[in-house]
Structure 1
Amino acid sequence: MSETPAPVGETPPGSSRGPSPAPRAAPRAAPPGARVLAQARWEAGTMLRNGEQVLLTLVLPALVLVGLSRTTLVDLGLEPGQRAVDVVAPGVLALAVLSTAFTGQAIATGFDRRSGVLRLLATTPLGRGGLVAGRVLGVLAVEAVQVVLLGAVALAVGWSPEPLGLLPGALLVLVGTAALTALALLLAGVLRAEAVLAVANLVWAALLVGGGVVVPADALPGPWGALVHVLPSGALGEGLRRASEDGALDLPALGVLVVWALAASLAARRWFRWD
C-alpha cells in the first residue's frame, strides 16, 4: 500500500528534519556618522603607511625645520633679537598642512579617480558627501600627528611659542586645511593622474621656496612679497607665525583663507569629475 506524500513545505511523518530556517534579513548599512569615521580611519591609516606620503608629510618638513634653524645661508628676514627657529617652526607646520591637505590629497585622489575607486565608493552607502567628509577627517587626523611630532622636534631645537597662540593657530589650520583640500580636489578632478602628480609636486616645491610658507613674505623680493600675502600658503604661514610669536589671530590671513576655501569648494563642486 503506497504512502500519501506529505504536502509541499511540511515535514513527512517520521522524518527528523525540522522546519526550514527563516530567511535572514539583509544587513543594513551603518549610520552615516559611523561610515564617515570608518572612511576617515582608512584614509589616515593609508597615508601613514605609505612611504612616499610619510616622506612628504613628515621627513622632509623635519629636515627643513632642523636645517633652516641651524644655518644662516637662507635669508629669513630676521629682526634684531629674533631667532631663526621661531620663524621656521610655524612655517614648517604650515608646510606640513600644505603637504598633507594639498599635495598628498591631490595625488591620491587623482590616481583613485583614474583607477575607478572614486566612482565605486560614490555608489556605496558612503556616498559622495561621505567620501569627501571622510577624506577631510583623515587629513585632519594625519595633521594632528604631524603637529605633535614636528612640534616636538621644534621644541627640541629651541622653539618657544606663545601658549595663547594655540587656539588661533588651530583655527588657521582648520580653515587652511579646508582651502588646500578643496584646491587638491579641484586639481585632481580636472587633470589626468600623471599631470596631477607633476603639477602637485611642482606647486609644493614652488610654494616651499617662494610661497611665504617657511620664508616670511617680508623677506621675499619686491612685489612678489606683497602678492604672497593673498596666497593660501602665505596666509597660513604668516598667520601661524603671528599666532606663535604674539598669541594673536591674524584676521587678514584668516580672511584670505576663508575666501580661498569658499572659492575652491565652489569650483571643485562645479568642475570635479568622478571618472
Structure 2
Amino acid sequence: MATTASSSQARESRFPVGTFAPAPQRAETTKLIFSQARLETALFWRHGEQMLLTIIIPLAMLIGFTLIPILPDPNPLDRVFPMVLAISVMSAGFTGQAIAVGFDRRYGALKRIGASAVPPWGIIAGKVVAVCFTVTLQYLLFSAVGLALGAQLSFGGWVFAYFGMLLGTFVFTSLGLLMGGTLSAEMILGLANLVWFVFVGTATLAGVGPETGSLGGFFLSLLPSVALADVIASALSVTVAWSAVVVLLGWGIIAAFLATRWFQFDMKSD
C-alpha cells in the first residue's frame, strides 16, 4: 500500500491534477469554415461535369475565339478574355453550386453535416469560400493562357479585374444557392443548365456578337451575365463600369436576401 501511495504521489508531482481531464469545446469558427471549404473544394474538383463547365468549356472558348478567325477583329482577345472570365465565374458560382446543393439536399448530406459541429451558416460560408478559391484558380489559369495567346495585361488592371470576379462570385453564388436551396434536385438539374446556357449565350452575344441596337443593348445590360463581363472588361482597363456594378449588386442583394429566407437544408419529402 505504501508503494502504491508513493507512486500515486509521484505521478501527481509530475502531472498536475487535471492535466488529463477531458475538456471538450467547440472548434474556432474560422477552423470550422475553412475545414468545410476544404471539403467542398475537394468535392468540386473531383466532379467531371463541374470541370467541363468551369474549366474545359471556357478554356476552349478562349483558345477558339482567339486562334480561329471567327471575329472580324484584329485583336479578338480584348473582347474574348473578359467574356471567358465572366463565364467561368457563372459556371463555378451558379451552375456548380445549384446542382451540388440540390443533390446534397436530395440525399440528406446537408442535413447530416448540420448535425455535426458545423452550424447552418457555416455550411453556406464554406461553400462560398470554396467557390472563391475555385474562381481564384480559374483566374490564374485563364490569365496564364491569355498571356500565352498574346493578351496585354497591366498588373493594376489584372488585380482590379480580380475584385470584379469576386463581386461576380457573390452574385452568382447567391443565385446558385437560391435555386439549389429551394427547388427539387430533378428540377434544378434541368433548370440550372438551361439558365447557364442563357447566361453564356447573352454574355457571348454582348461580348463578341453583332450589334443589337440601343434597345437590345439596354435589356442585355440588365442581365447579370452581361453586367459581369462589362465589369471585368472595364476593370482590365483600370476603370469602373458603375452601371454594371449597380446591376450586379442589385441581383446579388436580392438573391442573397431570398436565399437567406427560403433556403432549406433538406427536401420537404425527407
TM class by smaller structure: 0.7 to 0.9
- Tell me by how many angstroms 1:213 deviates: 5.0
Give the distance between the partners of 2:119 and 2:71, measured in 1 at CA. Answer: 47
1:31 corresponds to which of 13, 18, 28: 28
Aligned to 1:155: 147
AA aligned to 1:259 is: G
| 2:157 is the counterpart of 1:165 | yes
1:142 corresponds to which of 134, 137, 141: 134
Aligned to 2:70: 73
Unpaired runs of 5+ in structure 1? 1-12
- Tell me by how many angstroms 1:242 deviates: 1.6
| 2:241 is the counterpart of 1:250 | yes
1:270 corresponds to which of 239, 261, 268: 261
* 1:64-213 to 2 correspondences below 5 Å: 64-73=61-70, 78=73, 83-209=75-201, 211-213=202-204
AA aligned to 2:207 is: P
Runs of 4+ in 1 over 4 A off after TM superposition: 13-16
1:231-265 Cα deviation digits (max 9, x unpaired): 11111101111222x22121111111111111101
Contact 1:182 1:264 in 2 (8 A): yes
Give the distance between the partners of 2:59 and 2:208, measured in 1 at CA. Answer: 21
Aligned to 1:261: 252
Give the distance between the partners of 2:196 and 2:82, measured in 1 at CA. Answer: 17
Q: Percent of aligned positions with the same letter in both sequences?
A: 34
1:75-131 Cα deviation digits (max 9, x unpaired): 7xx5xxx51111101111111100000010111000001111112222322111111
1:22-72 Cα deviation digits (max 9, x unpaired): 985253221011110111111112112222211211111100111111234
Aligned to 1:225: 217
As a proportion of its length, which structure holds more helix?
A: 2
Give the distance between the partners of 1:218 and 1:162, measured in 2 at CA. Answer: 26
Unpaired runs of 5+ in structure 2? 9-17
Aligned to 2:56: 59
Give the distance between the partners of 2:181 and 2:50, measured in 1 at CA. Answer: 20
- Is 148-157 or 117-126 further displaced after alignment? 117-126
TM-score by length of 2: 0.85
SS at match of 1:239: helix
Give the distance between the partners of 2:106 and 2:197, measured in 1 at CA. Answer: 24
Give the distance between the partners of 1:213 and 1:130, measured in 2 at CA. Answer: 35
- Is 218-227 or 40-49 further displaced after alignment? 218-227
1:163-207 Cα deviation digits (max 9, x unpaired): 332343122212211111111011112211111111111111122
| 2:227 is the counterpart of 1:235 | yes
Give the distance between the partners of 1:225 and 1:203, measured in 2 at CA. Answer: 19
Aligned to 2:15: none
> Aligned residue pairs: how many?
255
SS at match of 1:160: coil
Superposed CA RMSD in Å reads: 2.5
Contact 2:203 2:226 in 1 (8 A): yes
TM-score by length of 1: 0.84
Give the distance between the partners of 2:65 and 2:238, measured in 1 at CA. Answer: 23
Contact 1:189 1:274 in 2 (8 A): yes
Give the distance between the partners of 2:186 and 2:21, measured in 1 at CA. Answer: 46
- Tell me by how many angstroms 1:15 deviates: 11
SS at match of 2:203: coil
